[in-house]
Amino acid sequence: MNNNKVIQVKSLTKMFGDFTAVDAITFDIEKGEIFGFLGANGAGKTTAMKMLIGISKPTSGEAKVAGFDVYKQTEDIKKNIGYMSQKFALYDDLTVKENITFFGGIYGLSRKKIKEKSEALIEELGLEKVANQLVGALPLGWKQKLSFSVSLIHDPKIVFLDEPTGGVDPITRRQFWEMIYKAAHQGTTVFVTTHYMDEAEYCDRVSIMVNGKIEALDTPKKLKEQFKAANMNDVFLKLARG
């Protein structure tokens, strides 16, 4: 097994009754890569992602995440990945510090480590003044950034981001992608789904899912050449419209 390949997926399939939600998808993702996982609503992105993060069992096919099997080693997978969902998912009625402590705690970090992490994180995000305020009172953009940092608290090998920038203003979106780059630079693999095609341009490689199948997979530059399109938006429209 190639140690640089942190995600290996081969013919992964998920059926719900007669309906094939994910149809034999195959791809590899390398360490430190930012992998854009695109597709229209209902194309099967979320289902595919759920299989990779170990909360949904595949119907057939193979997949290894961080070197662990998605059928048998979901517990090991969970320890090695971070996850941020499209629904904002910190606790509104806990303070910034309490949220960090809680999530650090469920990933089994020591008290000392949590303290270090939370101080570093608060400083990095410039949240010193609101550290003891309830998260519910923060603006959405701050919450989102905090949520991303929290998903990285246990230094996971891979972080899965499910439409992380939904409903966020362009400036915050920009800052958010800077954080993603920083994480990738430090060796964290980033698996991100998005509906914003300008964000797709920021990814190292992009896959586009249509009706459960991966129809295209390459760097944004090569995809644009292949589909003779000016930007990723056109690539996506050409594919998704069939």
Partner 1 sequence: MKRFIGFIKKEFYHIFRDKRSLFILFGMPIAQILLFGFAITNEINNVDIAILDHSKDATTKEIINKIAASKYFSIKQMITREAGIASVFQKGQVKAVLNFEKDFSKNLIKDHKATVQIITDATDPNTANTITNYVNAILQQYQKELNKDITIAYQIVPETRMVYNPELKSVYMFVPGVMTIILMLVSAMMTSISITREKELGTMEILLVSPLKPFQVIIGKVLPYIFLSIINALVIVMLSIFIFNMPVQGSLFLLGLESVLFIISALALGILISTISSTQQTAMMISLMGLMLPVILLSGFIFPISSMPLPLQIISNIIPAKWFIIILKGIMLKGVGLQYIWKETLILLGMTVFFIALSVKKYKIRLE
Of 193, 172, 156, 139, nearest in space to 78 by CA: 156
Only segment of 5-13, 71-79, 164-172, 233-241 that touches partner 1 (CB under 8 A): 71-79
Asked if residue 72 binds partner 1 (CB under 8 A), the reply is no
Is 179 among the residues that bind partner 1 (CB under 8 A)? no
Smallest gap from residue 54 Cβ to partner 1 (A): 7
Closest CB 20 distance from partner 1, rounded Å: 16
Furthest C-alpha separation in the chain: 54
Q: Which of 110/219 has CB closer to partner 1? A: 110
- Shortest Å, Cβ 45 to partner 1: 15
Q: How far is the CB of 114 from partner 1 (least distance, A)?
A: 9
Distance CA 127, CA 2 (A): 40
**Residue closer to partner 1, measured from CB, 158 or 217:** 158
Is 13 a residue that touches partner 1 (CB under 8 A)? no
- Give the C-alpha separation, 96 to 108, whole Å: 19
Q: Where are the beta strands (DSSP E) in 156-219?
A: 158-162, 189-193, 205-210, 213-218
Q: Is there binding between residue 102 and partner 1 (CB under 8 A)?
A: yes
Site for partner 1 in 126-165 (CB under 8 A): 134
What is the helix (H) or strand (E) element at residue 65, kind and residue range?
A: strand 60-65
DSSP 134: B
Closest approach, Cβ 108 to partner 1, in A, equals: 6
Residue 53 lies near partner 1 (rule: CB under 8 A): yes
Selected from 4, 11, 42, 55, the binder of partner 1 by CB under 8 A is 55
Give strand pairing partners of 81.
158
Task: Choose one: 97-105, 168-176, 194-202, 203-211; the region binding partner 1 (CB under 8 A).
Answer: 97-105
Among 7, 12, 38, 81, binds partner 1 (CB under 8 A): 81
* In the block, residue with structure tokens 């400036």: 171
Token pair for residue 30?
Answer: 């390398």
Angle of the 111-125 helix axis to the 96-106 helix axis, nearest 10: 140
Helices (H), 15-159: 45-52, 74-80, 96-106, 111-125, 140-151
Nearer to partner 1, 163 or 199 (CB): 163
Residues 6+ apart with CB under 8 A from 185: 32
Residues near partner 1 (CB under 8 A) are: 53-57, 75, 78-79, 81, 83-94, 98, 101-103, 105-108, 134
